[in-house]
């Protein structure tokens, strides 16, 4: 995985095979290599956060 | 002013479909052509290699098999090209559709819709229909899945075994596989990974569920009656209106009194459609083309009026 990051954001430049997209009871979600990204936070803040 | 000849609908097909020698394919094309003729459409098949676009001055000139075609009497249709075997043709067809749109032609399904809506997960992510729920799903690319065994953790997606594994791009006749355990799921994913097929993993609702496909014309559901109309008309209309296309099929599954949105299909002539359904689809395209042409005529008349 290639990730260029500062304190607030992560830019992923990876194979599509590392991305799992889906929907569960909580709504749409994206996982990258098993880590859940939070699209709501991303949309709200204009950045990509990782919910560990 | 009405045109002397019926509008021509070119059906752009993948060479892998178009050159098929299967008698069933020839019969299907013949059936569609006859149905179109009954509706006043001249349906012809072509490949993107038959289409040549040139720019002369400010005008784009489009020729199909050497004959110049006009947006006032010709429009285009292309099937969904989601199968791995069609991969070499997918971009050629989509880019050609985009070029034809730029050249002022009507297409039944714009390129952006084909790209956006071909994968089932998009509609499942996009729509929240309230009482009609959306099937929980995880979309998984499977290249080298045997190396990255942790790519999918079923529990992360609120799924429990058994789960259903199906191609992310629906095609009539596709099989749904059932995995009763983690071990079985791993085996299935390694099998589909051999062909790099992208799949959806969903709850297995059982054999008893009923599938409903609601055809929407210009956003309006058709063919629904009684209690089913009460439950599905609103959700189907919401989905079809959001897509904004002349013809959309919206799929639901029913388990007793519970309903889920299962898929949206806006592309292609489904191989399993009966004659009446084919006529409905073609008639929707014909009416959309009439509106397209009328709108173009109105713009043209306005421009000429402005010059006078």
| Cβ within 8 Å, pair A31-B125 | no
> Which residues from chain B sit within 8 angstroms of residue A17, using beta carbons?
141-145, 148, 151
Surface-to-core class of residue B39, CB atoms within 10 Å of its CB (0-12 exposed, 13-18 middle, 19+ buried): middle
- What does each of the 308 residues of chain B score in pLDDT, given as a tens digit? 554 689 999 999 877 666 556 777 788 889 999 999 999 999 999 999 999 999 888 789 999 999 999 999 999 999 777 666 777 888 899 999 999 999 999 999 999 888 888 889 999 999 988 889 988 999 999 988 877 777 888 888 889 999 999 999 887 677 899 999 999 999 999 999 988 889 999 999 999 999 999 999 999 999 999 999 999 999 999 999 999 999 999 999 999 999 999 999 887 787 667 888 899 999 999 999 999 999 988 887 887 775 54
**DSSP one-letter string for B164-199:** EEEESS--TT---EEE-SHHHHHHHHHHHHTTT--E
Q: Using an 8 Å Cβ cutoff, are B199 and B140 in contact?
A: yes
* Residue B158: predicted pLDDT: 87
Asked whether the predicted pLDDT for residue A38 surpasses 70, the reply is no
Mutate to test the interface with B, among A16, A17, A18, A33 (most CBs of B within 10 A): A17
pLDDT of residue B153: 85
pLDDT at residue B18, rounded to an integer: 60
For the CA atoms of B123, B126, B128, B129, the dihedral, rounded to the nearest 10 degrees, stands at -50
Give the per-residue pLDDT at A48: 43
Residue B91: CB atoms within 10 Å:
12
B157 at the A interface (CB within 8 A)? yes
A18 lies within 8 A of chain B by CB: yes
Residues of A in contact with B153 (CB under 8 A): 34
């Amino acid at each position: 995985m290639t990730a260029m990051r500062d304190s607030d954001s992560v830019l992923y430049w990876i194979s599509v095979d590392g991305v799992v997209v889906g929907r569960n009871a909580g709504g749409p979600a994206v996982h990258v290599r098993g880590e859940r990204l939070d699209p709501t936070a991303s949309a709200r803040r204009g950045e990509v956060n990782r919910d560990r | 002013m009405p045109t002397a000849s019926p509008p021509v609908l070119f059906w752009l097909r993948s060479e892998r479909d178009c050159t098929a020698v299967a008698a069933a394919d020839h019969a299907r094309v013949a059936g569609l052509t006859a149905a179109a003729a009954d509706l006043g459409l001249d349906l012809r098949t072509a490949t993107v290699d038959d289409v040549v676009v040139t720019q002369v001055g400010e005008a784009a000139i489009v020729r199909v098999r050497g004959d110049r075609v006009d947006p006032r009497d010709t429009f285009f249709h292309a099937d969904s090209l989601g199968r791995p075997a069609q991969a070499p043709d997918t971009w050629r067809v989509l880019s050609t559709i985009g070029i034809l749109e730029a050249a002022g032609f009507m297409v039944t399904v714009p390129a952006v819709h084909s790209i956006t809506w071909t994968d089932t997960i998009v509609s499942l992510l996009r729509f929240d229909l309230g009482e009609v729920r959306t099937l929980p799903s995880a979309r998984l690319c499977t290249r080298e899945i045997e190396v990255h065994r942790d790519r999918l953790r079923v529990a992360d997606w609120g799924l429990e075994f058994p789960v259903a594994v199906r191609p992310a791009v629906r095609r009539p006749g596709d099989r749904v596989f059932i995995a009763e355990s983690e071990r079985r799921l791993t085996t299935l994913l390694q099998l589909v990974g051999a062909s790099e097929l992208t799949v959806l993993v969903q709850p297995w609702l059982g054999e008893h569920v009923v599938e409903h496909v609601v055809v929407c014309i210009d956003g309006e559901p058709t063919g629904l009656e009684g209690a089913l109309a009460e439950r599905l008309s609103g959700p189907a209309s919401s989905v079809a209106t959001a897509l904004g296309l002349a013809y959309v099929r919206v799929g639901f599954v029913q388990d007793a009194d519970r309903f889920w949105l299962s898929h949206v299909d806006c592309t292609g002539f489904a191989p399993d459609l009966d004659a009446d359904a084919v006529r409905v689809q073609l008639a929707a395209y014909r009416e959309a083309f009439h509106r397209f042409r009328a709108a173009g005529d109105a713009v043209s008349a306005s421009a000429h009026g402005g010059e006078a």
